[in-house]
Structure formats: structure tokens, C-alpha cells
């Protein structure tokens, strides 16, 4: 399954800036946006609800990671919001992943909302080969560790992973086409890289097997965010 709309990472630090940014788009344009930890910790559920009320879809990227019971209860709360996607860390293990999914679905059922999809973080893109081997003592290395975590997440009933465009094809082989591969680190040829190192253009991500892309600064910092969004939309869906 491919998500046609690029997901816009709303990496702002307060509600007002976020809502001002969304005002750039025509009211009829229903977006898919990502809210991460900084914005959620600063603006909380009220902002999520306000954005949902405007008709947008929300990817709430909170990367929950704790003992299974705590994660289940946290996910129960998130499931009631009506978001479309959220995240947890695969290395919380099978029981925690199952509990996360269970809590999310129960929360959505209780509130009469659609069932959100749950993505796993495998190895953060800030984690390199040395860290995997020397700090985590995982002898099989980074690539195999990512594959292992993806399979672990799939076996626990999750819906996909966050992964770099460079990993997407391999993960498609390992987990099959329906398991989502959501890819950040997207840049147009004309964009600056910022702090991203291994970037891809939207069309490359499509060719390399990503099923959704997350784009922040190339849209949020653009002089004309709507034009930037449209250019990325076209390349991703060409």
C-alpha cells in the first residue's frame, strides 16, 4: 500500500506557529501531518485535536518505549484521539509490541475512532555500525539488526516500520509489500541537507520501495510551502 500524500513533519515548537503554517494551505486541502515529541510535549492533545478537526490526518510520532503494561496504557490513550499512525521502539520486544498494538486498538474501539496503524522504530538513523557492534553488542551488524527488528514487529502484529529509503527494498523482501515502509530524510535536488546524511529525492524513494515519505524542512522552511509540497507530491507519485 502506498500513501499518496507526503507526510509533512510539523517540527515547530508551539501550537500557534503550527496552526499559522497550516493556514498556508487552502482549507479544502486535507494534509497528512506528523507531530513529534517536541510539539506534542509543548502543545499536547489540544493541538492534535485541533488539527484533526481541520480534517487532516495525523501521524503522532511519540516512539513509546517502556514495560508492556505502561506502553499498553499509553497507547490506549493515543488510540482514543483519532490519529492515523503512531510509533514504538521494536527493541521493547515482542510482548511490549503486542501490548502496544492491543492498547491502541482498544483505545480506538472505546472512542469509536478508526484503528490507527502502528509503526516500529528499528535502529535509529543516528545509530551506526560501530554503535550496534560496540555499544549494543549485536554481532550481526546494523543491516541484519534492522531486518530482525522489522520481522519482530511484523510478528507482533504491527503495521510497518520507519526506515531509510536505502533500506526499503530489502525490508520489502523480508516483510512483504503490505508492511509499511515510512521514510524520512527526503530532499529535493535543490534543498540543503540540514542534519540529514543519507537523503533521497521523492522519486528515488518511490523507486526504492518506500510506501510513504515524511518531509519536514523542505516544506516547512520553504519560501512557498504549498508549491514545495506540490512539487514533492508530483515527484513522489509520478
Site residues (CB under 6 A) for ligand C5P?
Answer: 9, 11, 36, 124-125, 162, 184-185, 194, 196, 214-218
Which is nearer to ligand C5P, 39 or 108 (by Cβ)? 39
Phi, psi angle pair for 58, to nearest 5°: -125, 130
**H, E, C per residue of the chain:** CCCCCCEEECCCCCHHHHHHHHCCCCCCCCCEEEECHHHHHHHHHHHHHHHHHCCCEEEEEEEECCCHHHHHHHHHHHHCCCCCEEEEEHHHCHHHHHHHHHHHHHHHHHHCCCCCEEEEECCCCCCCHHHHHHHCCCCCCHHHHHHHHHHHHHHCCCCEEECCHHHHHHHHHHHCCCCEEEECCECCCCCCCCCCCCCECHHHHHHCCCCEEEECHHHHCCCCHHHHHHHHHHHHHC
**Would you say 217 is a known binding-site residue?**
yes
Shortest distance (Å) from residue 196 CB to ligand C5P: 5
Shortest distance (Å) from residue 114 CB to ligand C5P: 23
Sign of CA dihedral 222, 224, 230, 231: negative
Phi, psi angle pair for 61, to nearest 5°: -95, 80
Which is nearer to ligand C5P, 126 or 238 (by Cβ)? 126
Shortest distance (Å) from residue 131 CB to ligand C5P: 14
**Would you say 62 is a known binding-site residue?**
yes
Which is nearer to ligand C5P, 106 or 233 (by Cβ)? 233
Point out the residues that are catalytic: 61, 63, 66
Shortest distance (Å) from residue 129 CB to ligand C5P: 16
Shortest distance (Å) from residue 218 CB to ligand C5P: 6
**Would you say 14 is a known binding-site residue?**
no
**Would you say 5 is a known binding-site residue?**
no
Which is nearer to ligand C5P, 18 or 80 (by Cβ)? 18
Chain-centroid distance, C-alpha 114:
18
**Would you say 67 is a known binding-site residue?**
yes
Which is nearer to ligand C5P, 125 or 169 (by Cβ)? 125
The vertex-42 CA angle with 40 and 43, nearest 5°, equals 65
**Would you say 196 is a known binding-site residue?**
yes
Q: Which residue is nearest to ligand C5P (CB)?
A: 216
Binding residues for substrate, as ranges, are 11, 34, 61-70, 125, 187, 196, 216-217
Binding residues, as ranges, are 11, 34, 61-70, 125, 187, 196, 216-217
Amino acid at each position: 500500500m502506498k500513501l499518496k500524500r507526503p507526510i509533512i513533519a510539523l517540527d515547530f515548537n508551539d501550537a500557534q506557529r503550527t496552526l499559522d503554517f497550516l493556514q498556508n494551505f487552502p482549507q479544502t486541502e486535507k494534509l497528512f501531518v506528523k507531530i513529534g515529541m517536541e510539539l506534542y510535549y509543548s502543545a499536547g492533545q489540544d493541538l492534535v485535536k485541533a488539527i484533526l478537526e481541520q480534517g487532516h490526518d495525523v501521524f503522532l510520532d511519540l516512539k513509546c518505549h517502556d514495560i508492556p503494561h505502561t506502553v499498553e496504557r499509553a497507547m490506549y490513550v493515543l488510540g482514543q484521539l483519532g490519529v492515523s499512525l503512531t510509533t514504538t521502539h521494536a527493541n521493547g520486544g515482542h510482548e511490549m509490541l503486542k501490548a502496544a498494538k492491543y492498547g491502541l486498538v482498544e483505545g480506538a474501539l472505546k472512542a469509536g475512532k478508526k484503528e490507527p496503524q502502528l509503526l516500529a522504530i528499528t535502529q535509529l538513523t543516528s545509530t551506526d555500525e560501530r554503535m550496534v557492534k560496540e555499544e549494543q553488542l549485536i554481532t550481526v551488524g546494523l543491516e541484519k539488526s534492522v531486518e530482525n527488528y522489522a520481522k519482530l514487529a511484523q510478528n507482533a502484529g504491527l503495521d510497518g516500520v520507519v526506515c531509510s529509503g536505502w533500506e526499503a527494498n530489502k525490508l520489502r523482501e523480508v516483510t512483504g509489500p503490505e508492511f509499511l515502509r515510512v521514510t524520512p530524510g527526503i530532499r529535493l535536488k535543490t534543498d540543503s541537507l540540514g542534519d540529514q546524511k543519507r537523503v533521497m529525492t521523492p522519486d528515488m524513494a518511490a523507486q526504492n520501495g518506500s510506501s510513504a515519505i515524511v518531509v519536514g524542512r523542505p516544506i516547512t522552511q520553504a519560501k512557498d510551502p504549498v508549491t514545495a509540497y506540490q512539487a514533492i507530491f508530483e515527484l513522489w507519485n509520478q
